[in-house]
Amino acid sequence: MKLWRVVLLLNLALGAGILLGYLAWGREIPRLERAVETAREQSATTGAERTWSARGVVRAVLTDLNVVVLTHEAVPGLMPSMTMGFKVHEPRLYQGLDIGATVRFTLKGTGPSNLEIVTIAREDRP
């Protein structure tokens, strides 16, 4: 076979290879990244019941709703730092909690939409 044909064929093969490779895998990358992202979210939102622990500061105690509002640090694997209200497992827990008190608390549940404070204790002296 003549050299120019070989060269042309090789270039075509290279181009076709790159194109096919892109079609087969290159376009998959964004989809896979999205899949990983949703899987990560799901692993945080669903699944078995577990507990998390973090520190926060008491912003409000809403006894009629049975909710304590905390500005808390990031809860690893659950949520970033934010101000948010949490249901309290039993009313006894928020007795003696003053506004502005620094606390360490434990959350129990299956994800951000299903959480309860099971322990909460002051870190600073009252």
Q: Which residues bind another protein (CB under 8 A)?
A: 2-8, 10-11, 55-62, 69, 71-74, 81, 83, 98-102, 123
What is d(CA 62, CA 5) in angstroms, rounded to the nearest whole number? 81
Helix, strand or coil, per DSSP, at residue 5 = helix
Shortest distance (Å) from residue 27 CB to another protein = 19
Least spacing, CB of residue 47 vs another protein, in Å: 26
Residue 46 CB, nearest distance to another protein (Å)?
A: 27
**Residue with smaller CB distance to another protein, 9 or 36:** 9
CA–CA gap between residue 45 and residue 78 (Å, rounded): 8
Nearest to another protein of 45, 81 (CB atom) = 81
Nearer to another protein, 61 or 88 (CB): 61
Q: Which residue's CB is nearer to another protein, number 7 or number 39?
A: 7
**CA 68-116-48 angle, 5° bins:** 160
Contacting residues for 69 by C-beta, under 8 A, at least 6 apart: 58, 59, 60, 61, 62, 83, 84, 85, 86
Residue 86: how many CB atoms within 10 A of its CB? Answer: 19
